[in-house]
Amino acid sequence: MGADRGVRVPFNYLPQQFADPAPIMAAIAEVVASGDFTLGAVVTAFEAAFAAKTGAAHAIGVNSGTDGIKLSLRAVGVGPGDEVITAANTFVATVGAIAELGAKPVFVDVDDSLCLDLDALPAAIGPATKAIVPVHLSGTMADMAALNALAARHGVPVVEDACQAFMTLQDGRMAGTWGAAGIYSMHPLKFLNIWGDGGVIVTDDDALAAQLRLLRNHGLADRDTVVLMGTNSRLDSLQAAVALKMLPQADAIVARRNAIAARYDAAFAGLPGLRIPRRHPDVRHSFVTYQLFCDRRDALAVHCGAQGIEYKIHYPVPIYRQPALAEVLPAGARFPETDRQAAETLTLPVHQYLDDDQVEHVIATIRGFALGEAEAAQ
């Protein structure tokens, strides 16, 4: 079956998701009428609903996933001069949060699941290691049972960067709920998306939750008592109203994304020049993005664009190779799997608003490219 050049497959689905903003606007109007704009009732209601959804004891709304990582690391004791281990293929936000505390990022390569290579992790742990931050990239998930066991042997806390992994499950347990704390982003490009920046920290530790609530609000125990020096990182009440409207859609969204991804996986398996990231059988992926490895990624990207398929490349220059990190890393540090993925990864549309014709168009386009390349090489 050939690709239909008349079919368009957009990557951005936000205009469709918010095509009818009336219910959200009504919820925002209620907040406006109440005058309850800062850490008000709507934030409390969202935090309770989010905690229930994740199965965590506590959910703490903050102004971004980045701040969620930073505050969580600070809460577990990370400070200037400490080392924090994380994945070499992550987005800059993970590393920026570490750097803001004056700590040093220590990178570990990843495996073909896009997550931390646990075989490489022990060698990175040293006397200055104060935390490990696994990154559940693209909506997949590191092997948290094995990682937690390793971290426990070294007495190092785990803070999960689950910014891209809301609704991802391992053995039925939500990504972000395995470590001392887990952080989710609600940026418009994430799974649970709002109308600006926002983040959520979850934890089962009562004392840690209490400290995080202080840290996000200037360290104020009450209006006039500052018990520690915190920051201003409150989840905006208006954004909490948006999030409360979006949260009930999560189950339907993850089901549709998994159905589309399963069709992609079945269609692309075994094609010459293409590889699917490793899927762990005990993980229910949320597919905030769908990524494919391709030997001739740039040529495939041009082909997709010509066929009306929008795509992204995450991330063409790994974070550890960025100029801002030049003075932090040991000379000659290289992470081969991270580099390979940066050169080969193409991100395809997988959102819940794709119809069957669009999905089939993506499949036919990718298959046509791979099989045509193979035939031309003969």
Residue at 345: amino acid letter:
T
Give the CB-side neighbour count of residue 49, counting CA atoms within 13 A. 17
Domain architecture of the chain: domains with CATH: 16-248 (3.40.640.10), 249-377 (3.90.1150.10)
Tokens of 252: 């339907």
Contact 237, 38 (CB under 8 A): yes
Contact 54, 176 (CB under 8 A): yes
pLDDT at 191: 95
For the stretch 186-207, pLDDT in tens is 999 999 999 999 999 999 999 9
Tokens of 257: 């994304």
pLDDT at 378: 59
Tokens of 99: 């750097």
Nearest Cα neighbor of 321 from 11, 137, 159, 88 is 88
3-state secondary structure the chain: CCCCCCCCECCCCHHHHCCCCHHHHHHHHHHHHHCCCECCHHHHHHHHHHHHHHCCCEEEEECCHHHHHHHHHHHCCCCCCCEEEEECCCCHHHHHHHHHCCCEEEEECECCCCCECCCCCHHHCCCCEEEEECECHHHCCCCHHHHHHHHHHHCCCEEEECCCCCCCEECCEECCCCCCEEEEECCCCCCCCCCCCCEEEEECCHHHHHHHHHHCECCEEECCEECCCCCECECEHHHHHHHHHHHHHHHHHHHHHHHHHHHHHHHHCCCCCEECCCCCCCEECCCCCEEEEECCHHHHHHHHHHCCECCECCCCCCHHHCHHHCCCCCCCCCCHHHHHHHHHEEEECCCCCCCHHHHHHHHHHHHHHHHHHHHHHC
Contact 229, 74 (CB under 8 A): no
pLDDT at 1: 45
Contact 121, 132 (CB under 8 A): yes
What is the mean pLDDT, run by run of 10 residues, along the chain of 378 residues? 78 96 97 94 98 98 98 98 98 97 97 97 97 98 97 98 98 98 97 96 98 98 96 97 97 98 98 97 97 98 98 96 90 92 98 98 98 72
Contact 76, 180 (CB under 8 A): yes
Taking phi over 0 as left and psi of -120 to 50 as alpha, with beta for the rest, 236 belongs to beta
Contact 117, 145 (CB under 8 A): no
Parallel, antiparallel, or unpaired: how do β-strands 283-284 and 290-294 relate?
A: unpaired
Tokens of 182: 């887990």
